[in-house]
């Protein structure tokens, strides 16, 4: 039986992926900081582990446990991550470093730990959950987008260097997904920049996220991403990238065809529209919908 490790598995995409791989017959190790939130996964036969991707020892313990119990690691799904928003000027560098520690260096370190075992078997799949945010940009998302651009470049380099060992590297690029990510991102934008020189932009960015959430055509359940990951780890020759979820493909297409300045203008127009909706909602005392976008 093949073995898979899934990080960030306490909710959203990670939880859905752990369940999907279990359905496919994998021995699944679901890893997250809060093990109490994975009780339902454990009841369903998924092995859970308390892991902090910024803590080397916890990741080493996880890989040692997996090898001891199953003797192999066939799939690693690097899903753990979060969105920290705010103007580059306003975000403390300690927070910027933490964003990279979780979204990039945690991913890289866990990959380093499983690769010797994959190379020994001359097979394996590394699945890195990036985002359409690894291909586009937006104001107040500089540090978050920088981490996802880094994941994209790191994955491309690894794909080539690991190919001789029979190891595939796949990037997943979710669009709008119902998870906890968007609420954290919008909240951090307002907390860090809502009362600074970037206050109006912060309100508009939060409004844009809320407007996307209110449109069912732009948001998808986490199972859509889980299905793409399942396909990526079971087909003989996976794609290098899977863009899935609400708005992912049209947004990436728009980015490809528009020049930088053109995309800048589109962003500004969208922000102004969202800002107008937000202001109208405040005047009429209508609560803005919660934000739950992709990681």
From CA 103, how far away is CA 99, in angstroms rounded?
A: 6
Residue ranges of domains in the chain: 3-179+220-249
Over 188-235, what HEC string results? HHHHHHCCCCCHHHHHHHHHHHHHHHHCHHHCECHHHHHHHHHHHHHC
Residues annotated catalytic, as ranges: 144
Q: What is the pTM of this model?
A: 0.91
Choose among 163, 164, 169: nearest CA to 151. 169
- E strand spans, 79-151: 124-129
Per-residue pLDDT of the chain (295 residues; tens, 9 = 90+): 999 999 999 999 999 999 999 999 999 999 999 999 999 999 999 999 999 999 999 999 999 999 999 999 999 999 999 988 999 999 999 999 999 999 999 999 999 999 999 999 999 999 999 999 999 999 999 999 999 999 999 999 999 999 999 999 999 999 988 776 767 778 889 999 999 999 999 998 987 776 666 666 778 999 999 999 999 999 999 999 999 998 899 999 999 999 999 999 999 998 888 766 555 545 444 443 333 333 4
Whole-number pLDDT of residue 187: 85
Look at the block and give the residue holding tokens 């960015």: 205
Cα–Cα distance measured from residue 268 to residue 259, given in angstroms and rounded to the nearest whole number: 14
Give SS3 for 286. Answer: coil
Could you give the CA distance from residue 13 to residue 32 in angstroms, rounded to a whole number? 12
Of 174, 213, 219, nearest to 81 by C-alpha is: 174
For residue 129, list its beta bridge partners.
172
- Which positions ≥6 away from 162 have C-beta within 8 Å? 115, 126, 168, 169
Rounded to whole angstroms, how far apart are CA atoms 222 and 293? 10
What pLDDT was estimated at residue 206?
A: 86
Looking at CATH, the fold of the domain delimited by 3-179+220-249 is given as Rossmann fold (3.40.50)
Q: Are the CB atoms for 56 and 104 separated by under 8 Å? A: no
**CA nearest 27: which of 60, 62, 2?**
2
């Amino acid at each position: 039986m093949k073995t898979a490790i899934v990080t960030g598995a306490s909710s959203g995409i990670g939880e859905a992926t752990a369940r999907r791989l279990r359905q496919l017959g994998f021995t699944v190790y679901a890893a997250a900081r809060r093990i109490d939130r994975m009780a339902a996964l454990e009841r369903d036969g998924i092995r859970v582990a308390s892991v902090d991707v910024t803590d080397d020892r916890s990741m080493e313990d996880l890989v040692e446990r997996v090898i001891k119990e199953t003797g192999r690691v066939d799939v690693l799904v690097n899903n753990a991550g979060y969105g920290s928003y705010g103007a580059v000027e306003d975000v403390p560098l300690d927070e910027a470093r933490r964003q990279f520690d979780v979204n990039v260096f945690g991913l890289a370190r866990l990959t380093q730990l499983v690769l010797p075992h994959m190379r020994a078997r001359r097979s394996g799949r590394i699945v890195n959950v990036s985002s359409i945010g690894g291909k586009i940009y937006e104001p107040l998302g500089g540090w978050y987008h920088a981490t996802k651009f880094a994941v994209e470049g790191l994955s491309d380099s690894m794909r080539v260097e690991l190919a001789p060992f029979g190891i595939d590297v796949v990037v997943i690029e979710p669009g709008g997904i119902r998870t906890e990510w968007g609420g954290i991102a919008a909240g951090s934008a307002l907390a860090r920049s809502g009362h600074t020189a970037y206050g109006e932009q912060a309100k508009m960015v939060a409004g844009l996220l809320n407007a996307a959430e209110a449109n069912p055509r732009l948001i998808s359940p986490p199972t859509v991403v889980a299905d793409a990951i399942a396909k990526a780890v079971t087909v003989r020759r996976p794609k290098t990238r899977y863009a899935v979820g609400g708005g992912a493909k049209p947004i990436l297409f728009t980015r490809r065809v528009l020049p930088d300045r053109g995309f800048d203008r589109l962003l500004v127009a969208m922000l102004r529209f969202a800002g107008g909706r937000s202001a109208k909602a405040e005047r009429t005392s209508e609560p803005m919908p919660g934000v739950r976008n992709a990681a």
